[in-house]
Amino acid sequence: MDPILEIRHLDVDYGLGDRAVRAVRDVSLTLHRGEVLGLAGESGSGKSTLAYGLTRLLAPPGVISGGQVIYHPASGEPYDVLSLSDNGLRQFRWAETAIVFQGAMNSLNPVHKISTQLTDVLKAHEPSMSEHTRQARAREMLKLVGISPDRMDAYPHQLSGGMRQRVMIGMALILQPQVVIMDEPTTALDVVMQRQILGQLIELRERLGFSVIFITHDLSLLVEFSNRIAIMYGGRIVEEAPAATLYRDALHPYSKGLLSSFPALRGPRRELAGIPGSPPDLAAMPAGCSFHPRCPRAFEPCSVTIPVLGRPDATGRTVACWLHPSADAADSPGVSVASGEH
C-alpha cells in the first residue's frame, strides 16, 4: 500500500526551553491510502496534540520542535506540511486534510444557518463556484451524511447532537479531502447514535476513498472500526499493529492493560483489574520507559533507558518495550539515549 501521510520523528512541546512540557515525543507513523488508522490513549497521552501538530493547528504555547510530516498528494510530488508557506497551508487544509474536532457538536457557529456554514467552506476554497452550485453541493453533502436537505436552513440549536455531528462530518468531507482526522468524534454521543455515525463513516470511506486517522480513548471501538491501531502513552507511541493482531496478542503491557480495562459484553465474566496507578504527568515524566511505574512486568532496564520502537518479529508490527526487543536493530533510529534529563 502506498503511504499518504508520513509522520517522521515528530516532537511537539508546550512552552519553550527547559520548562517545556514535551507532549509528543519522537512519533513516527504512516497512514496508508484508504485505511483507518486508530490512535488510542488516555487523556494526556498526547493523541490530540499529535493531530493538531500534524495539521499545524497548534495554538501557542504549543510548538513543533522537530520532525517532518510528509504528505503525498494524489498527483504531484510529496511535500513537507511543516515547511509549507501560509498560502500553501491554506490550500492544504480542508482540501487535502480535514479534521473533525472533539466536541464537534459545539464547533458550529450558533448564529449562522447550516447552509451558510457549509457554503462558506466552498466560498473560501473554490471562489469561482457559483452560488447555485455551492448550494447544490451543500445539499448533496447533507444527503450523503443522512440529513434531509430540507434542514439546510436550520440553525445548529434546531438539530440534535447526532445531527450536528453529521453536519460536521459532512463539512469536513465537502472538499473531498484525502485525509480526515477524527478527534474523539463520537465521545459525546450515545452508543446507538455512535454506531450509526461510525457505520456511515465507514460506508462513505469506501465510496469516496479517503483515509482516516481516528483518535479515541475507547480501544474496543477502534478494534472494531480500524485497520491498524497505534497506542500512545506519555507522548510516545508504544505499540502499533493491525487491529486484530493487537486485540488478540498485544505485546506491550500497557496495551494489554488497556484491553483488559473494558468489561466484555459477551463471553465469560472475568475479574478485571485495570491498570494500577494513574497516567503520568507530562511535566514530570519518569525516567526510562514512562510506563514502568505502573508496569507489572518492569525489570531493570525499564527505569533507566527509554525503549525504542522496534519490530519484534517479521510481521511488521512495532512495539517499544524491553520485553520485546527489536529483531533488527539496524532499523531503529538512534534515540536510545539514557534519560538523564531531569
Partner 1 sequence: MTSTQVVLEAIGLTKHFPVRRSLRQIFRKEHSAVHAVDDVHLTLRRGRVVALVGESGSGKSTVARLLAQLYPRTGGDIRLHGASTSVNGGRGFRAYAARVQMIFQDPFASLNPVHTIRYHLTRALKIHHNTGDDLEAALHELLGRVSLTPPERYLDKFPHELSGGQRQRVAIARALGARPEALLADEPVSMLDVSIRLGVLNLLRDLKERLNLAILYITHDIASARYFADETLVMYAGRMVEGGDSETVTQTPAHPYTRLLIDSAPDPDRLTGNAGELATDRGNGEPPSLIEPPTGCRFHPRCPMAMARCTTDLPVRIEIGDRPGHWAACWLYDQEKAASEGVA
Residue from 7, 138, 168, 243 in contact with partner 1 (CB under 8 A): 243
Range 53-59, long-range pairs (CB < 8 A, 24+ positions) = 53/10, 53/12, 53/24, 54/5, 54/7, 54/10, 54/81, 54/181, 55/81, 55/93, 55/97, 55/99, 55/181, 56/81, 56/82, 56/84, 56/89, 57/99, 58/12
- Kindly tell me which of 65 and 260 has the beta carbon lying closer to partner 1: 260
Encoded one letter per residue, x for contact with partner 1 by CB under 8 A and - for no contact, window 274-293 reads xxx-xx--------------
Among 8, 33, 139, 217, which residue sits at the site for partner 1 (rule: CB under 8 A)?
217
SS3 category, 273: coil
Provide, rounded to whole angstroms, the least separation between the CB of residue 241 and partner 1: 14
The whole-angstrom separation of Cα 178 and Cα 97 is 6
Binding region for partner 1 (CB under 8 A) out of 3-11, 95-103, 133-141, 240-248:
240-248
Residue 79 or 262: the one with the smaller Cβ distance to partner 1 is 262
Residue 264 interacts with partner 1 (CB under 8 A): yes or no: yes
Out of 1, 16, 136, 244, which residue is the one contacting partner 1 (CB under 8 A)? 244
First-to-final CA distance of the chain? 42
**196/303 with CB nearer partner 1:** 196
Can you tell me the distance from the alpha carbon of 25 to that of 46, in angstroms, rounded to the nearest whole number? 9
The number of residues making up the chain comes to: 342
The C-alpha atoms of residue 27 and residue 46 are separated, in whole angstroms, by: 10
Choose among 257, 322, 307: nearest CA to 41: 257
DSSP code for 113: -
- Pick from 199, 209, 316, 333 the residue near partner 1 by CB under 8 A: 199
Would you count residue 241 as binding partner 1 (CB under 8 A)? no
Site string for partner 1, 152-191 (x = CB under 8 A): --------x-xx--------------------------xx
CB 151, CB 163: distance < 8 Å: yes
Contacts for 7 with CB less than 8 Å, ≥ 6 apart: 27, 28, 29, 30, 50, 54, 67, 68, 69
What Cα–Cα distance (Å) separates residue 66 from each residue in 83, 110, 175? 11, 37, 30
Q: Strands of 21-32's sheet, edge to edge? A: 21-32, 3-14, 62-71, 79-80
When the beta carbons of 137 and 252 are compared against partner 1, the nearer one is: 252
Minimum CB distance to partner 1 smaller for 88 or for 276:
276
Select 67 or 162, whichever has its Cβ closest to partner 1.
162
Interacting residue with partner 1 among 100, 181, 221, 295 (CB under 8 A): 221
Q: Which is nearer to partner 1, 36 or 171 (CB)?
A: 36
Instruction: Give the shortest CB-76-to-partner 1 separation in angstroms.
Output: 32
The binding track of 28-47 with respect to partner 1, each residue x by CB under 8 A or -, is --------------xx----
Pick from 57, 63, 70, 202: which binds partner 1 (CB under 8 A)? 202
Q: Does 124 bind partner 1 (CB under 8 A)?
A: no
Under DSSP, is residue 21 helix (H, G, I), strand (E, B) or coil? strand
Query: How far is it, in rounded angstroms, from Cα 236 to Cα 11?
Result: 10
List interacting residues with partner 1 (CB under 8 A). 42-43, 146, 160, 162-163, 190-196, 199, 202, 217-221, 223-225, 243-244, 247, 257-259, 261-267, 269, 272-276, 278-279
